[in-house]
Amino acid sequence: MKTTDVDYSGLLPRLARLERQNLFWKIAVAVILLFAVFFPPVKVAAQRDPAISAENSTVEARAFLLKDSAGHLRGKMTVDGDRHPLLEFYDADGGVIWSTDSHVIPTK
């Protein structure tokens, strides 16, 4: 065998394997694109709720609670029994540190 002779005996099996891999990746990309195209619009359509639209931006509640990352209550906005609005902030132990209610914290 001369140094310029090339052995092509393994070329056909390698070529067949590469063609199978190429077909696999073409199918995989097609499936991914189909999911990307058809499923996000379904999720977006499911999230459209007329009660939660951009035009309806009013939030109503009896109380709004402010909690820290540990879940401890740090503030509260509510209406007291006399129908007066009340805003309070609490320390780590749960004591009131600031309030809009003048009888909760004595003035200095």
Domain-located, residue 40: yes
Residue with the bigger pLDDT between 38 and 102: it is 38
Asked whether residue 105 is domain-assigned, the answer is no
The answer to whether residues 77 and 84 touch, using CB atoms and an 8 Å cutoff, is no
Percent of the chain beyond pLDDT 90? 26
Highest mean pLDDT among 6-15, 37-46, 51-60, 93-102: 6-15
pTM: 0.42
Tens-digit pLDDT profile for residues 60-90 = 888 899 999 888 999 999 887 777 888 899 9
Residue 107 lies in a domain: no
Containing structural domain, residue 34:
11-51
Task: Give the residue from 76, 79, 74 showing the smallest Cα distance to 94.
Answer: 74
Cβ(73)–Cβ(89) below 8 Å: no
| Helix, strand, coil percent content, the chain, rounded in steps of 5 | 35, 20, 45
